[in-house]
Amino acid sequence: MTPNKPIKAYKDEEFLNSHEARTVRILCEYLEPEKRFNEMKIAHTVVFFGSARSSPDSALVDDRFNHYWAAEELAFLLGSYGKDLDTRNGFTICTGGGPGIMEAANRGAKRAGAPNIGLNISLPFEQDPNPYITPELNFEFHYFFMRKLWFLYHAKAIIVFPGGYGTLDELFETLTLVQTNKMKKHNIPILLYDQSFWEGLINFQKLVDLGMISEEDIALFHYISSPEEGLEYLKPRLSSIISDINRTIEKQ
């Protein structure tokens, strides 16, 4: 090797981690996941949002009031249904990859023998990959906005369990994108699990009464109260939205 030969820019770790290379890092968080999703033939997902602090230990496994086990069961039912569909019409369970509701959904999908996705984010606490994610679909993001892009890019349904700031952020960003037609999938099902929690937390009707949102904006989401109800609500809607997308692709 020639003495003092300079390092190529794309091999220079100091540069790649510098402020000046921020755009390169952002592009990496778009291109590398895209490559893996293509390799794994991921085109459609059902996304689970919810608290990282939900615990599997706070109630019995068959207690449907425990959000962790309800999410695990719903992911199991959806995973079992989805894996029996062909690649063209199938879908994959996707979560934020951490503990709580995220772990529960990955766990349920794995119990069904279905591949599942974990979109992790580097945080100072709470966020380590759970052990149920399919290894080839385990991701680690630095930028929240790139992670959010991949949450919604392939999403054909969103299921939101009770949660804190992060869950509320994900819910309201999704509702805003649908409300403003920034998501072409305007008919994407958005399910809120545990109506009593959500109605006790947010007075959606007051937003209508004050003219902050329109009456039809409340119809952008639907409450469910059991995993079985969620499955039955989603099955025909997932089939419809995926078929519509496939027909659009064929016409292009």
> Which CATH number fits the domain that encloses residue 210?
3.40.50.450
* Residue 205 to residue 201: CA distance in whole angstroms: 12
CA distances from 44 to 75, 114, 174, 190 (A): 15, 14, 16, 15
* Residue 140 to residue 121: CA distance in whole angstroms: 5
* Residue 114 to residue 2: CA distance in whole angstroms: 51
State how many domains the chain has. Answer: 1
Do residues 66 and 59 lie in contact, with contact meaning Cβ atoms separated by under 8 Å?
yes
pLDDT at 62: 46
Residue reference for tokens 């016409």: 251
Assess if residue 155 is contained within a domain. Answer: yes
pLDDT at 120: 95
Model pTM score = 0.92
Do residues 114 and 104 lie in contact, with contact meaning Cβ atoms separated by under 8 Å?
no
pLDDT in tens, 172-213: 999 999 999 998 777 899 999 999 999 999 999 999 999 999
* The pair of three-digit structure tokens given for residue 237, joined into one six-digit string: 């809607």
Do residues 222 and 191 lie in contact, with contact meaning Cβ atoms separated by under 8 Å?
yes
Below-50 pLDDT ranges, the chain: 60-62, 64
Assess if residue 1 is contained within a domain. Answer: no
pLDDT at 235: 94
Assess if residue 223 is contained within a domain. Answer: yes
Indicate the SS3 state at residue 117. Answer: strand
Assess if residue 171 is contained within a domain. Answer: yes
Question: With 0-12 CB in 10 A as exposed, 13-18 as middle and 19+ as buried, what is 226?
Answer: middle
Nearest to 79 by CA among 66, 93, 97: 93
∠ CA 65-160-249 to the nearest 5 degrees? 140
Q: Domain range holding 189? A: 45-251
Assess if residue 35 is contained within a domain. Answer: no
